Amino acid sequence: MRLWGRTLRFQVADDELRMLTDTGKPTILVFWHNRLFIAAEGYRRFRAPRPTYCLISASRDGAWLAAFMSLNGMHAVRGSSSRRGREALRELEARLREGNDAGITPDGPRGPAYSFKSGAPMLATRTGTRVLLLNAVFSSAWRMRSWDGFYLPRPFSSVTVRAAIVEPEEMEEDLAVRTRMWKERLLTMGEEIAEPSSG
């Protein structure tokens, strides 16, 4: 999988590249669950070796993903909305206060696809941390028959990375409004705008 990732050609606009590579302060990284395949390669190219802790399901299915992230230099915090959710958010909060980054898929671990749970907005509120919304568009990819329509980019294809920073002072105070705005923004940064959104 590492060799596969290294064949991909990443394309990033200059202003978005500056956002991706700005590791000067703690950041909450937010991206859709079906982009997880490129998360490790994106980390290696743009944000390593900055410590990053990713929220990963505490279920048995999440074990392989935690191991994969670990092999690529990232750390796992195990928990989800259905199991160990509060404990996981508290641990992520502690990691951010220590000066590290946190990674969250707002529609994980079981969807519906492109739903946006309130974990990331809540974490940003508690810690006063900026948020980096991330999306990717693939020139050529397989779509898995999973609940999220997982993207598997073909080797040697292009990946256009989209990024947007939300600073604490720019965040809408109302949690529900903030959650809806971030979801809409993340959708328009990719190709999901042309797809029916679930939830």
Query: What confidence tier does 172 reach under pLDDT thresholds 50, 70, 90?
Result: confident
Is the pLDDT at 134 greater than 50? The verdict is yes
pLDDT digits (tens, 9 = 90+) for 45-100: 999 999 999 999 877 778 888 888 888 889 999 876 666 778 889 999 999 999 99
pLDDT digits (tens, 9 = 90+) for 21-34: 999 999 999 999 99
Give pLDDT, residue 23: 96
CB-CB contact of 28 with 129 (8 Å): yes
Q: Does residue 176 carry a pLDDT above 80?
A: yes
pLDDT at 193 over 60: no
Cα angle 193, 181, 16 (rounded to 5 degrees) comes to: 70
pLDDT given at position 67: 85
Q: Please state, rounded to an integer, the average pLDDT across all residues of the chain.
A: 91
User: Looking at the predicted structure, is the pLDDT value of residue 42 above 50?
Assistant: yes
Query: In the chain, helix, strand, coil percent, each to 5?
Result: 40, 20, 40
Residue 161 has pLDDT above 70, yes or no: yes
* Residue pLDDT, tens place only, 94-122: 999 999 999 999 998 889 999 999 999 99
Instruction: List pLDDT tens digits, range 6-24.
Output: 999 999 999 999 999 999 9
CATH topology assigned to domain 2-190: Cobalt-precorrin-4 Transmethylase; domain 1 (3.40.1010)
- Helices and strands (H, E) in the chain, number of each type: 7, 9
> What pLDDT does 70 receive?
84
Q: Is the pLDDT of residue 138 over 90?
A: yes
> Directed axis angle between helix 119-127 and helix 85-97, to 10°?
40
Q: Where exactly are the structural domains of the chain?
A: 2-190
CB 50 within 8 A of CB 23: yes
Is the pLDDT at 199 greater than 50? The verdict is no
The two structure tokens encoding residue 8: 């991909």
Which residues, including other chains, have CB under 8 Å from residue 26's CB and lie 6 or more apart?
96, 97, 99, 100, 101, 102, 127, 129, 130
Q: Are 99 and 183 in contact (CB under 8 A)?
A: no
Question: 196: cis peptide before it, omega within 30°?
Answer: no
Q: Where are the beta strands (DSSP E) in 45-155?
A: 52-56, 75-78, 101-104, 130-138, 141-143, 151-153
Give yes or no for residue 128 having a pLDDT over 90.
yes
pLDDT the model gives residue 119: 92
